[in-house]
Amino acid sequence: MRSLAETAHLHRLAEEWSADRVLVEHAQLEAFSQATGHLIGSVGEDAQEDYWAELLRPLKRLRWLVATVPLPVSHPAVGVAPIAHSVLPQLRRCGRIAPALAGTSDRVAELLEELTRCEDDPLGEAVRCLRPADPGLVRGAGPLEVWEMAAPPAEPAALLLRDGRFTDPVRAAFGRGWEVVTAAELVRGKPVGQVVAAGPVSWFPPAVLRAPRSSKFTFTYFGWLRDHDPELGMLTGTEAAERIALHPPPERAREGPVAGQGAQDDARAWIPRVEWKAITAAAGRTGGEAHGELVDALLFALASGDGVYLAAKDGAQAYTAELEGEVSVRQLSVSELGEGHFLVLRTTGEGDYIREIADRLLGDRAEQLRAIQRGWKLELGRLVDLRGPSGVAKDLKELGALIANDMNVRRWASPESLRTHSKEDFGAILRLIGDEEQFEVIWNAMGELQAAHMKAGNEVRKLLVAEIRQSDGAELLRNGWADYDVEEVEGEGTLRVARINGVSPDLQELPRGRLRRPCPVGAERWHG
Amino acid sequence: MEGSAIQSVGDLRFEAEAITPATAGLTSESHEAIPYWGRFIAGASRRLARSESQTTTVGLTLPARGFAAVLGAGAFVTEQERLHPMSPGDAEEHVALLRSCPSGTPIKYHAGSKVWDGRFIGFTDHEGEEKLYIETRNMKRKLALSSALNIRLTGELVQSNALRSRKVALSPLLKSLLSPDAALTYVTTTRHDCIVVGTQSSLVGELTSQKFFASEGPNGSGGVLQDIVRAREAPGARRYFRTVLVPSTTGPSAEERTFAPRLVVFDGGRAYLRWRHIWRNAHQLVLIDRSSASAEDAAGELSMAFIERTGETSILDRLAVPGSLEAIAFERGL
């Protein structure tokens, strides 16, 4: 909790902040970026074809990394060498596949080879120049030899990165005096003297400036990128005039050894997009064998580099973690999930860990109760296959069901649901499958399972919240994901909390066993 | 108002620590006026209390939502108490009100600074004169009708605790806003004036850990916002309260959904997105923290509500919006 004085300070920053843009020039990188951009533009709509997709994706990734990670180009974290190793042979083959583009691809290959030997750090140097030097110590004036600070210590500065995966190598390279943070960490953290961002404004969430945690921002980025001002106002109908605090970029240098070449790329076009074709293919390869009936599912791309399928219909739910205010874990309907939600998943074993924990809580009773559950669901499922959900819903209504419809019938028949809300609906189901005389036994058995599921869910929720709180959620904010070894869930697999980066636009039909199991799809595949 | 030194929560001062990035960890304390953004929120909330409309929405986006909800709630409930006091003002009206109360209605019997828990039994004849008949600890009392104003309805439906009497120590902070008599009634009666939906632990922290003062003077005038807001979930107001805190994660209980507050404060975008459909007949103070993940969606919903508004409001007229805030206000339909 912030004190009122601290909160008042944040309000003052919101009234006083200003932001500058600093353009960074580097002829070699500009030539590479322009040549890559030219190749992407020349390939055009064919970019979705496998050959071009496999070639362009790493090139876009490299272009993105050198523009967002303030480290020497040849630094292992940037990874220019492995990218060159994988891409150069394909670039050399281009003449045979698309002769018209041979010149362009040869040029990209030539520049890429040069980059593997480039030790320059233009972005890093620009960032360092913006930090006032530490004042150092001077000898005091008194009789004793006392060293005093020549000036108050410089205010802490934050180096703002687009991607939290690079905070460790960047922190190591920049050393003391810099707090290396992501946007999520910055807005939740304490105010700092200045913020230097590696990248243009349009690459960062607007919250960085809507809720400023410093009075001074500087966005450093390559001169060949054209930035855009963010929409800082959030409400329709406000009359307050917006303060012009974000200054336009300076003119590019036209002369000198690193003079800009003039043309500028739209910075927004460089932002990685989720490439669903590649992710879906990767998920298909790494998802492993699965069983169960076919269900409609949506693929979710996670910040952890995983993809995960979740049932898309019939009221399916998933556990999510929330970091706003106090940490909480709760169930949300899959249809409500979107970018920015944090999904809770198990890293190994069957996806439905709640079911397994519930079974453990039930002990010997579990097998008997599950057999009862399987029994009536199997029979209901058989009728759904035979007559369709609409036909079964019609029959159930005639037998006294209150809310029988297509969706509910499918949900009641799915192994994830336990029992209906009302006894009337359950009675109708049992009448339909001919088990009416077993009503009390089956209803109570399902109630027992439901109670165990609730207990298991509450236990996991409580333990996971405690784990996230204990770690302060810092890793989660920085990287967009983190694994938590919840002691009581030991043996059931680590719980992974990961931010959703995208939801596939299309439904897929998959065996139920494929649901909720994260499978690696590779971070580089998001560079569509 | 007799006995009250200041007009609003926004006029309070707070114990501040000097905060600058360069002196992080080195702090000095002073009593400072509440910053303008806090006075603005308190001012807007007072106006909501005075509004003839019942369903005005005031929406704000803020760089950080700390203290906004509790200042708003504090300003609203104290203004509400001034406008609609639970301490009766007209003896005849109050006797009429007591006649409508069923036997056993929980009451407080005030005598000076001493307050007795009690039950209202009814009216009785005593030697040809109609008397008020009440029960306090170990005693049944027959009081003259002229004493009716000393009987206060607690707002409870049933008397839950054993009857007792006590001397009530009033917070100097509360006494700076309400007269001693009104303050005494305020802390011994219950009304669901305000609901705050938000992060309960943060709200309780803000209500109980930050010191406020009615003046620059001695510390004797100090207290915490809980003295004023009287949130049921924070220490000291479990039985007699004016405000109910509802966690935005789990939402209101079945009982809380039936409350009819005059103001609902949505402390955070998530609170507004999830629970705006409840308590539709109340004013809304929507506080959207621009640093939070839910801000964009909540601002979108609030903007949509503005577009679908049923009327304009003058609630923010002549209130200069602080530079750190965005503000809208509009009327909603029931």
Q: Decide if A213 contacts A191 (C-beta within 8 A).
A: yes
B320: contact with A, CB 8 A cutoff: no
In whole angstroms, what is the distance from residue A416 CA to residue A350 CA? 13
A340 lies within 8 A of chain B by CB: yes
Contact between A10 and B64 using a beta-carbon 8 Å cutoff: yes
**A188, B291: Cβ pair inside 8 Å?**
yes
CB nearest to B291's CB, from A11, A12, A207: A207
DSSP state of A241: P
| Number of CB pairs, chain A paired with chain B, less than 8 A apart | 147
Q: Do A211 and B64 touch (CB under 8 A)?
A: yes
Close Cβ partners of B245 (under 8 Å, ≥ 6 residues apart): B195, B196, B197, B198, B200, B203, B204, B231, B232, B233, B234
| Chain A CB contacts of B288 below 8 Å | 234
Cross-chain residue pair A6–B66, CB shorter than 8 Å: yes
CB B100 within 8 A of CB B120: no
A8-29 per-position pLDDT tens digit: 999 999 999 999 999 999 999 9
Residue with tokens 């924990």: A357
Q: CB-based contact (8 Å) between A244 and chain B?
A: no
**CB of A167 closer than 8 Å to CB of A187:** no
Residue in chain B lying closest to A238 (CA)? B328
Residues B298 and B306: their CA atoms lie apart, in Å, by 12
Whether the Cβ atoms of residue A299 and residue A516 lie closer than 8 Å to each other: no
- List all residues of chain A from 121 to 180 with a beta carbon under 8 Å from chain B: 152-153, 155-156
- Looking at the partner chain, which of A1, A9, A187 has a beta carbon nearest the beta carbon of B19? A9
Q: Min CA distance, B21 vs chain A (Å)?
A: 6
pLDDT at B24: 45
- Are residues A309 and A510 in contact, defined by beta-carbon separation less than 8 angstroms? yes
Q: Do residues A492 and A353 touch, judged by C-beta distance below 8 A?
A: yes
Amino acid, res. B44:
A
Give, in order, the Cα–Cα distances in Å from A338 to each of A15, A281, A334, B94: 32, 21, 9, 56
* Averaged confidence pLDDT in chain A: 85
Spell out the long-range contacts of B206-212 with Cβ–Cβ below 8 A and sequence spacing 24 or more.
Answer: B206/A1, B206/A4, B206/B66, B206/B67, B206/B69, B206/B70, B207/B70, B207/B231, B207/B234, B208/B234, B208/B235, B209/A1, B210/A3, B210/A4, B210/B14, B210/B15, B210/B67, B211/B14, B211/B15, B212/B12, B212/B13, B212/B14, B212/B15, B212/B173
Residue from the list B14, B18, B327 with its beta carbon closest to the beta carbon of A238: B327
Mark which residues 279-298 of B lie under 8 Å from A by CB: 288-296
- What does the pLDDT profile of chain B (334 residues) look like in tens digits? 444 557 788 888 888 765 554 444 444 567 889 999 999 999 999 999 999 999 999 999 999 999 999 999 999 999 999 998 877 777 888 888 888 888 888 888 888 778 888 888 899 988 888 999 988 888 888 888 888 888 888 877 776 667 777 777 788 889 888 888 888 889 888 999 999 999 998 999 999 999 998 876 555 678 999 999 999 999 989 888 999 999 998 899 999 999 999 999 999 999 999 999 999 999 999 999 999 988 999 999 999 999 999 999 999 998 999 999 999 999 997 6
For residue B74, give the nearest of B233, B168, B196 by alpha carbon.
B196
- Across-strand partners of A300? A308, A503
A238 touches chain B (CB under 8 A): yes
Q: What is the pTM of this model?
A: 0.80
Report the complex ipTM: 0.85
* Cβ neighbours of A243 in B, within 8 Å: 323
Give SS3 for B110.
strand
Q: Are B279 and B260 in contact (CB under 8 A)?
A: yes
- Single-letter residue type at B164: R
Q: b or e along B165-181 (b: 16 or more beta carbons within 10 Å of the residue's beta carbon)?
A: beeeebbbbbbbbbbee
- Tell me the shortest Cα–Cα distance from A210 to chain B, in angstroms: 6
Among B residues 29-48, those touching chain A with beta carbons less than 8 Å apart: 32, 34-35, 37-38
3-class SS at B135? strand
CA distance A192 to A19: 14
Q: How far is A460 from chain B (nearest CA, A)?
A: 17
